[in-house]
Amino acid sequence: MPEAWFDELAELLRIPSVSADPARAGDVGDAAEWLAEFVRRAGGSAEVVKTDTHPLILGDLPASTNGSGAPTVLVYGHVDVQPPDPLDLWETDPFTLEQRGEWLYARGIVDDKGQLYMLVKAATELASTGELPVNVRFACDSEEESGGHQIVDFLAADERGADAAVIFDAGMTKRGVPEFAVSTRGIVYFHLTVRTGERDLHSGVFGGAAANAVHALMGILGALQPQDGRLAEPLRAGIAPPTDEEQAAWTSSRRVRSSWPGPERSRPITGPARSSTWARRRSRHWT
């Protein structure tokens, strides 16, 4: 990596934009401003839009020629990062970019400041030589790591649309095997309260006879994910079966990821659980 690029990237990584920490809200805003300024310096337009949580970064970098006829590519990335704790497990300062051998180390380098930098840098380099073939619209946020919704709300309300969208917020399973993730998984979470009686009962007298909330909860959670690791049938309603192409891709994926998730990290619950996970991820390889 050219030294100038390293320095530029280091500048963004130096900002401790931890969105989950209210004390870092100013840093999160600084990281948003850094990105907007980067796009502006390249000849585009960009603004940091305040929201009632963390800001959005919205900008446009026009195609070098035929701007109105060129397709528009929407680019998403996020400038916030996960908290760096526990700090004693870091060998170097988490917010100082460091190169060791072929690898770069810093909080956010692979999620998502590094990827986002590659995108904006590529776009601005092409623009600087008059070779940017598409209009690039940046729609980035600064709360991805803390479960934000601003970008979703913005895109849903933005009627301009785009011809394609790039979310550069993932990794490669294996070096030398570029990979497109064609969809991402979501998350649903909730707080569950189970109550089995109107008042406390003495365990020595009623234990084992009166319904215990813990036992009820065990039954509820166990029914959601039976032993084969697949979601219960009612929760699978509406799932589109994988296509032959997807099945074939997963076969090669499994070869690539034969050790995934790896005995040193975790074992899949069962074979079906593992293939069910592919179905949820719907990932494809580009070979």
Phi, psi for 268 (deg, rounded to 5):
-65, 150
* 3-state secondary structure at position 67: coil
- Catalytic hit among 30, 80, 111, 143: 80
- Provide the pairing of β-strand 72-76 with 164-167: parallel
| Conformation bin of residue 176: beta by default, left when phi > 0, alpha when psi is -120 to 50 | left
CB closer to Zn ion out of 27 and 112: 112
- Provide the pairing of β-strand 135-141 with 72-76: parallel
Q: Least distance (Å) from Zn ion to the CB of residue 81?
A: 9
The closest alpha carbon to 80, from 57, 52, 105, belongs to: 57
Q: Least distance (Å) from Zn ion to the CB of residue 143?
A: 11
Residue 84 · residue 107 · CB < 8 Å:
yes
Annotate 164-192 with b (16+ C-beta within 10 A) or e (fewer): eeebebeeeeeeeeebeeeeeeeeeeeee
- By CB under 5 A, name the binding residues for Zn ion: 111-112, 169
CB closer to Zn ion out of 119 and 249: 119
Q: Least distance (Å) from Zn ion to the CB of residue 142?
A: 11
Residue 15 · residue 84 · CB < 8 Å:
no
Phi, psi for 47 (deg, rounded to 5):
-140, 150
Q: Least distance (Å) from Zn ion to the CB of residue 106?
A: 14
CB closer to Zn ion out of 8 and 169: 169
233 tagged catalytic: no
Residue 159 · residue 72 · CB < 8 Å:
no
CB closer to Zn ion out of 111 and 246: 111
- Catalytic hit among 112, 141, 143, 144: 144
Q: Least distance (Å) from Zn ion to the CB of residue 217?
A: 32
3 tagged catalytic: no
In this structure, what DSSP letter does residue 269 have?
A: S
CB closer to Zn ion out of 118 and 201: 118
Distance CA 73, CA 165 (A): 5
Task: Tell me which residues are annotated as active site.
Answer: 80, 144
